[in-house]
Amino acid sequence: MRSYFWVGCLTKFSNVALIAYSEILLKSDAVRKRLEDLLVKQIRLRLKLDGLNFWRIRKEGGRIYILGENPEEICRSVLKVFGVDFSASALETETGQEEIVENSLKLAEKILGENESFAVRARRVGKHPYTSKDLEVKIGSTILKKLGESKSLKVNLENPDKTIFVEAREKKAYIYSKIFRGWGGLPVGSQGRLLIFLGNNVKTALAGWLMMKRGVFPIPFYLNQTNKDEEDFRFAKTLKDYISQPNLKVYVAPFKKILDSIPQNINSNLKTLLIQRLAVKVGCKLANLKKALGIVLGVSLDPKPTQTLRLLSYLEDASTLPIFHPLIGFEKKEIEDLRLKLNFPENLTKKTFFDFSPPENYNGITDEKLKNFEEKIDVEKLVEKIVNEVKVVKI
């Protein structure tokens, strides 16, 4: 069976998925090993989740090599694993110069079209009887000699149509041309957990994604401010794509009853503020229960002068945990660009969930009034009650 497969592979040129990562290549061996192991574990789980066949994952010299049925599909599958800089479907060969040149020529034959320009980029780690420059020159000149005329090829080192990459390592060499870009970052979970406040606005998901990319494991949390159970968890589902797990627990708190229990006849700015603070308190309480080190909001600064910064002061005052605002320095346009780049879904049109937003203004709000009112409605008890009614939905 396998030998049959290998024949198939050679016609497809590549026989291994090469995976590059960089930020976790630390000086400290112990920490580095822990992070590398976490990365490999998540890659393994991701491939299983995607139903891809593979028989070996090998880690060597800052690269991960995966032997499997379809290297290109493996390359695509791992792109959503944070920590992966890029992947490439490569041919693994012996390290002899002749063999490398011969196989590079085969790849060139396969990928270079007529009138195209190309470049060869070689890197070398370990001991070899040639330099990386030697390889580049030898491969480049061989391609020109054998194919240059018939295909009208030219070398272009600045901006080539196609590039042939060669990596000569201690034991094996790798040849590839197509690179799949990952997101980089740190393996999910390596930095602990944070509670992500999700809502109707995609900004909440983008904020969560940014923290996950920095190694955070997400505890997705929604406050349902309606009576209805038709909950659209598209943002939690989108985030789930980036963790290598079959399921993710989403936490949903019933917020409607509580909102209704706040008297209607109070200053509407004060009421808005109370609700925002209540939401933060619920989030903190749940975060503590779930051993999360903080909470993440999708708030950014919109042009309305100082409304939002003041809101964040009030939220901070209500919080017992750090509140992270990864979008705080982003332009409106940068946020939309990020959404498009990630292909994240649009905002929900139904306002099922609670989203943070500043009151119209801060007229009539004093710290004293706020505290008095919070005491009067017994906020701590309300929070307790909401947290007790939180439901868990597996997605």
DSSP assignment of 267-313, as one string? -HHHHHHHHHHHHHHHHHHHHHHTT-S-EE------SSTTHHHHHHH
| Closest distance of CB 354 from its own copies, Å | 20
The residues, any chain, with a CB within 8 Å of residue 330's CB and separated by 6 or more, are 300, 338
Q: Which is nearer to its own copies, 35 or 143 (CB)?
A: 35
Residue 325 sits in the site that holds its own copies (CB under 8 A): yes
Q: Assess 323 for contact with its own copies (CB under 8 A).
A: yes
Nearer to its own copies, 109 or 337 (CB): 337
- How many residues touch its own copies under the rule CB under 8 A: the total is 51
Rounded CA gap, 224 and 254, in Å? 5
By CB under 8 A, tell whether 80 contacts its own copies. no
* Residue 34 in contact with its own copies, rule: CB under 8 A: yes
Element (H, E) at 164: strand 162-168
As measured in angstroms, the least distance from the Cβ of 313 to its own copies is: 5
Helices (H), 183-243: 202-213, 234-240
Can you tell me the distance from the alpha carbon of 90 to that of 201, in angstroms, rounded to the nearest whole number?
Answer: 41
Element (H, E) at 212: helix 202-213
Residue 321 has which token pair? 């945990």
Beta bridge mates, 254: 224
Binder among 35, 64, 91, 107 for its own copies (CB under 8 A): 35
Question: What whole-number distance in Å separates Cα of residue 16 and Cα of residue 178?
Answer: 13
Q: Which stretch binds its own copies (CB under 8 A): 103-111, 155-163, 234-242, 331-339?
A: 331-339
* Residue in 229, 241, 331, 375 binding its own copies, rule: CB under 8 A: 331
Q: Does 17 sit near its own copies (CB under 8 A)?
A: no
CA distance 117 to 163: 9
Phi first, then psi: give them for residue 63, nearest 5 degrees.
-130, 155
Q: In this complex, which beta carbon is closest to its own copies, that of residue 130 or of residue 362?
A: 362
Q: Return the range that interacts with its own copies (CB under 8 A); candidates 6-14, 24-32, 40-48, 367-375.
A: 24-32
CB contact at 8 A, 196 and 239? yes
In this complex, which beta carbon is closest to its own copies, that of residue 18 or of residue 186? 186
* Residue among 324, 354, 356, 373 that touches its own copies (CB under 8 A): 324
Helix or strand (DSSP H, E) at 391: strand 391-394
Looking at the Cβ atoms of 177 and 300, the one nearer to its own copies is 300
Return the residues of window 206-225 that contact its own copies according to CB under 8 A: 207, 210-211, 213-216
Question: By CB under 8 A, is residue 316 in contact with its own copies?
Answer: yes
Q: Does 308 bind its own copies (CB under 8 A)?
A: yes
Give dist(CA 335, CA 131) in Å, integer. 45
Compute the least distance from the CB of residue 232 to its own copies, in Å.
Answer: 25
* Kind of pairing between the strands at 162-168 and 249-254: unpaired
Q: Which residues bind its own copies (CB under 8 A)?
A: 23-24, 26, 28, 31, 34-35, 184-186, 190-192, 194, 207, 210-211, 213-216, 293-294, 300-301, 303-306, 308-310, 312-313, 315-317, 319-329, 331-333
